[in-house]
Amino acid sequence: MGISTGRNTVAGWVDVHFGREGDRCIIDGIDVWKEEWRWIGGKTISLPHPFDSSQRHSFSICEVGSTRRPVRFAASKMPEGLWAFYVPA
């Protein structure tokens, strides 16, 4: 089961989810694990770990859903098979 955090806002991004791959991660009504991720031009951003802001990780900036109304997020695989997600603030 993932955790919705919403505690950190950094560089125009807010953390929204921390959990295991395949868990229920819903962003703007879309379950991101059931969609194909589109990595936006290979872009990444350095953002803090949701529970330890002293640790920074590289997050891939991705989109899912319709190309007319895409849902954008940043995702990074953390240790022990966990994932962290941010969305634009």
- Could you tell me what percent of the chain has a pLDDT over 90? 74
DSSP string across 11-74: TTEEEEEEEETTS--EETTEEGGGS--EEEEEEEEEEEETTEEEEEEEEEEEEES-SSS-EEEE
| Residue-averaged pLDDT of the chain | 90
The predicted model gives 27-35 an average pLDDT of 96
Domain boundary assignment for the chain: 9-88
Task: State the pLDDT confidence band at 11, using cuts at 50, 70 and 90.
Answer: confident
What is the value of pTM for the model shown? 0.87
Task: State the pLDDT confidence band at 5, using cuts at 50, 70 and 90.
Answer: low
The predicted model gives 18-43 an average pLDDT of 95
